[in-house]
Amino acid sequence: MNIDATTLHRLLRQPCTIAVVGLSAEPSRPSFGVSQTMQTHGYRIVPVNPRYAEKGEQILGETCYASLTDIPFAVDIVNVFRRTEDVLPIAEQAVQIGAKCLWQQIGVENRQADQLARAAGLDSVMNLCIKIEHARFAAGRR
């Protein structure tokens, strides 16, 4: 089961804090483009990528963290740009930090992570692009 339009609208109706797991600093990567677009719409983007965090780098002007549990403030949505088989530990961390939503991007559909998130009271989205869904709501098409 994926998520209904009413819940998507609730999640995206106003800017919030989105931790992007797997965010790349490469402008040609989908994670960068999606995050940059959401940032221009007022969402706070929090990069989560150990490769950049260990070097103390920033992405899109924000400090990069090695894991969700390293983020010292509240996160609303955990947006996942990782392989399906890598999502379960991310879902566990999302629950641990008290995130409100686990969002698996297009092509990412880990049902075990989805079930874990839902059982813990998080909203869970699979195989949808947050940028596309935001654009649909902004255009009034949902």
pLDDT tens-place string over residues 29-59: 999 999 999 999 999 999 999 999 999 999 9
Residue 141 pLDDT > 80: no
Sign of CA dihedral 74, 82, 65, 115: positive
Q: What is the dihedral of CA 132, 133, 139, 142, to 10 degrees?
A: 140
Structural domain including 96 reads 5-138
With a threshold of 0.85, does the pTM exceed it? yes
Q: How many domains in the chain?
A: 1
DSSP 8-state symbol, 133 = H
Please report the pLDDT score of residue 1 as a whole number.
52
Residue 30 Ramachandran class (φ > 0 left, ψ -120 to 50 alpha, else beta): alpha
pLDDT over 80 at 2, yes or no: no
Task: Tell me whether strands 77-80 and 62-63 are parallel, antiparallel or unpaired.
Answer: unpaired
State yes or no: pLDDT of 60 exceeds 90: yes
